[in-house]
Structure 1
Amino acid sequence: MRLKTLARASAIAVIAGLAAPAFAQQTVTWWDFFAGGDGVRMKALIDQFNEEHDDIEIEATTLEWGVPFYTKIRTSAAVGQGPDLMTYHLSRMPLGLAEGVLTPITAEDLEAGGISEDDFFAGALDSAKGPDGTLYAVPFDIHSIVLYYNKSYLEGTRFLDDNGELTGISSLADFEEALATAKENGAESPVTYATGDDGGVFRVFYTLLSQQGGTLISDDGEVLPGDSMDKAVNAVEIMTKWHDEGWQPEQALYEASVALFTSGKSAFQMNGVWEVPTMNDLAANGELGFEWGAVEIPQLMDSQTTWADSHAWAIPVQGDEEMDPEKRAAVMEVIGWMEKHAIQWADAGHIPAYKPVAESEEFKVMEPNATYSTLADKATYDPRSEVAGVASPAYDAAQNIISPAIHGYLSPEDAVAQMKSELESRMN
């Protein structure tokens, strides 16, 4: 009789909506490295997820970007004190694999999140895999450098079409003609980028190298193999010419390089898509004195490609323990939800790596993102090497060797030879 009473009570509770959930609420501990506008947008996504879910709660912590973040991941994962879910740059995938801090993500995991490999751009997906094809992360976006332009310096020239959009740049000669024209029209620095910082120098150098078909580090670990030395020298010579002609700023740090463009002193800016919100905000507040646009970096050399990276989701190892299956399912549900809401992240200038959002009508009218989203299929990611990627020896070499060269303190040949030697020494 007691069993029947309990059964009847349980049935009544279910009908009344009072039954306990099938699974206890899962708390997903989350670490990211997002600051500024990215941080604001990610916090809004997390808050929205938590509001919409009673069975899963994200408990988020933001850590310092770069080396501190990846060092913290390594040490915490080793002792099982890391997060359940973390953001990760795909350019640091080789480091994560070498350190053994990443767990494979299976087809069943993806299914639990309502997503599949076919949902993602091939370049980003390939960069999320190990050498054997095992998936270790889920791409969230594609972020690259793009070419911002100030229309006022190009009015009446062949570089603006009838709709006021950038046109006529399909070679290095075209671009340099546009720079010379902008200087004649009063631009203080016709093209600005962070000529004194690691990221700005590396991304422009790597784009010029990649457009020539050059390789910084091969898959088997050779630095500047074959004729890539000559192509790297050519890239440095181009950047040096831009300096010598007075077309780019002198040893500009990141903030200064951005200020040159936003203050109307530069006709072009080679910078990340993450500055799109800055431009939009300034324009909306009436603080921008010119019309602007942004496009994919034009084909300056032999092929159309641009440096790119991706923010991605990864699940770190838990020391010697395996993650509870219910917790892992909750983590994948978080990942899937974030991917399906990536249009809100695209507001930060990024291109969604999740194709259903990138191909949606909502994204197709998001400008200038939709205009430069063509780069998603043609982007070149950082070399698959432990010494490459953000906050890596390759970036250090750009700041400490390539930047002095483009300012005349080293010959391009000596700079490339030093870069090769430095990266080879860091591999040993």
Structure 2
Amino acid sequence: MNYVKSLLAAGAMSLVSLPAFAAQEVTWWDFLSGGDGVRMKALIERFNDEHPDITISGTTLEWGVPFYTKVRTSVAVGQGPDVMTYHLSRMPLGLEEEVLDTISEDDLAAAELSKEDFFPASIAAASDEKGALHAVPFDIHSIVLYVNKSYLEGSRFLDGDGNLTGIDNLEDFEEALALAKENGSSAPVSYATGDDGGTYRVFFTLLKQLGGELIVDGEVLPGDNMEKAAKAIEVMTRWHENGWQPEQAEYAASVALFTSGKSAFHMNGVWEVPTMVDMETKDTLGFDWGAVQIPNLMGTTATWADSHAFAIPAGTNMSPEKRKAVMTVIGWMEKNSLAWANAGHIPAYKPVANSDAFKEMEPNATYSSLAETAAYDPRSAIAGVASPVYDAAINIISPAMHGYMDPQQAAEQIKSELQSKLQ
């Protein structure tokens, strides 16, 4: 008996002397700066505080081409992160370069998620052509229509509660632009007319609202899509000719036109909502504003959109324990994405998007309907953020709408230029 007790005592001592279970360290890369970066760092800090068994070790890299180049080279040498942020518009290129791992049903289960938890458009954009998932959508961010209500006071375009109304087609919108100019707006609709992103997003929205497709099965503007592209450019050109939009406005200048009260409308991403909220809070905006989904101007409800998502680089060969830790991180981020929505985004995770807390978040809740009709970039390696498609916007579309090229010629040049990239 004493011998057994001695063994048990020795065993107990051995157990006590064992080291504590090592926490899983998850290496994280993102491209988030400004307000997005501040919010993500706060989320990471909260996660680490709540999970003593998992530590996120985060690094922020330069947005755009530098980030995706770093991902490609790191995967090639087997030194990528465990998890990274990714634009869903870059998904086709990422799949072509084979830098993205597959996220299985078991992975989603480990994160306590399922595909049904997300808006269908975002899941489709995060999947390959066979339906396999390669990223988990975190948000839906789109362009919206910001409104300076002071230029519309007393008109049919504001209802009894001061909300934008009566814009159901292009004619209505152009009537509102003409009214705003008559009421003293020097740039009735501002957007980044001298910037690739601003020009492309407005063009793509108009094209999709016309029922058009930019790239189909490796062909640029096939069939009547050429005429639809020319029509979209023609509309943007008319806005310029009528003095309704600024000439060659860089991004910051286009925002300043609205925040300084010179524009009645502003077409830009939801990511500028914090700018407006902050200025309103500080009482430096000077007018009553709102933000709504881009109205159906051309016949179909659609708006350019993209998503930040979480992806796992290919070839990481992580242990099952590390993989589970990574999916725990992703699942927690999705469930806590209300804090991310403060940046103007719409949560891609429907339980948060449908929550009472989000429905009280304005103006997000007002334009959140766009999640159902979000129009993602074509499934092509030459489309997406910082791609040849964006280059075409600044090199062809912007000059055309400023009068240096006929809209039809511009559409033909877009087809020729982009098709050569697909050969």
The bucket for the TM-score relative to the shorter chain is: over 0.9
Structure 2 counterpart SS, 1:148: strand
Residue of 196, 202, 207 corresponding to 2:200: 202
| Alignment-mate amino acid for residue 251 of structure 2 | Y
Residue of 395, 408, 423 corresponding to 2:403: 408
Partner of 2:38: 40
Could you report, residue by residue, the CA deviation over 1:369-428 in whole angstroms, capped at 9, with x for unpaired residues? 000000001111000000000100000000110000000001111111111111111112
| Alignment-mate amino acid for residue 253 of structure 2 | A
The answer to whether structure 1 residue 280 and structure 2 residue 277 are counterparts is yes
After superposition, the Cα gap between the structure-2 partners of 1:286 and 1:323, relative to the gap in structure 1 and judged at 3 Å, is same
Q: Residues 74-223 of structure 1 correspond to what in structure 2 (within 5 A)?
A: 74-218=72-216, 220-223=217-220
2 CA distance for matches of 1:375 and 1:259? 25
The answer to whether structure 1 residue 380 and structure 2 residue 378 are counterparts is no
Residue of 55, 62, 65 corresponding to 1:64: 62
2 CA distance for matches of 1:267 and 1:211? 22
Moved over 3 A (4+): 6-11, 18-21
The answer to whether structure 1 residue 30 and structure 2 residue 28 are counterparts is yes
| Alignment-mate amino acid for residue 204 of structure 1 | V
2 CA distance for matches of 1:86 and 1:30? 6
The answer to whether structure 1 residue 394 and structure 2 residue 394 are counterparts is no
Deviation at 1:24, TM superposition (A): 2.3
Deviation at 1:10, TM superposition (A): 6.8
TM-score scaled to structure 1, two decimals? 0.96
Q: Is the 8 A contact 1:78 1:317 kept in 2?
A: no
- Amino-acid identity (%): 68
Deviation at 1:60, TM superposition (A): 0.6
Residue of 414, 418, 421 corresponding to 1:423: 418
Structure 2 counterpart SS, 1:407: helix
1 CA distance for matches of 2:31 and 2:215? 27
2 CA distance for matches of 1:3 and 1:72? 55
| Alignment-mate amino acid for residue 92 of structure 2 | P
2 CA distance for matches of 1:155 and 1:20? 70
Residue of 256, 259, 263 corresponding to 1:262: 259
Residue of 317, 322, 326 corresponding to 1:327: 322
Deviation at 1:9, TM superposition (A): 4.4
Q: Is the 8 A contact 1:401 1:418 kept in 2?
A: yes
The answer to whether structure 1 residue 298 and structure 2 residue 302 are counterparts is no
2 CA distance for matches of 1:378 and 1:299? 11
| Alignment-mate amino acid for residue 51 of structure 1 | D
Deviation at 1:139, TM superposition (A): 0.1
| Alignment-mate amino acid for residue 85 of structure 1 | V
Q: Give unpaired runs (5+ residues) of structure 1.
A: none
Residue of 212, 228, 231 corresponding to 2:225: 228
Could you report, residue by residue, the CA deviation over 1:95-116 in whole angstroms, capped at 9, with x for unpaired residues? 0000000000001101111111
2 CA distance for matches of 1:27 and 1:135? 24
Partner of 2:355: 360
Deviation at 1:325, TM superposition (A): 1.2
The 10-residue stretch of structure 1 (45-54 or 238-247) with the greater mean CA deviation from structure 2: 45-54
| Alignment-mate amino acid for residue 426 of structure 1 | K
The 10-residue stretch of structure 1 (300-309 or 321-330) with the greater mean CA deviation from structure 2: 321-330
Q: Is the 8 A contact 1:37 1:348 kept in 2?
A: yes
Deviation at 1:6, TM superposition (A): 4.1
| Alignment-mate amino acid for residue 339 of structure 1 | E
Deviation at 1:7, TM superposition (A): 3.9
Deviation at 1:8, TM superposition (A): 3.8
Deviation at 1:70, TM superposition (A): 0.4
Partner of 2:246: 249
The answer to whether structure 1 residue 5 and structure 2 residue 9 are counterparts is yes
After superposition, the Cα gap between the structure-2 partners of 1:55 and 1:294, relative to the gap in structure 1 and judged at 3 Å, is same
Partner of 2:344: 349
Deviation at 1:4, TM superposition (A): 2.3
Could you report, residue by residue, the CA deviation over 1:346-379 in whole angstroms, capped at 9, with x for unpaired residues? 0000000000000000000000000000000111
Q: Give unpaired runs (5+ residues) of structure 2.
A: none
After superposition, the Cα gap between the structure-2 partners of 1:139 and 1:6, relative to the gap in structure 1 and judged at 3 Å, is farther
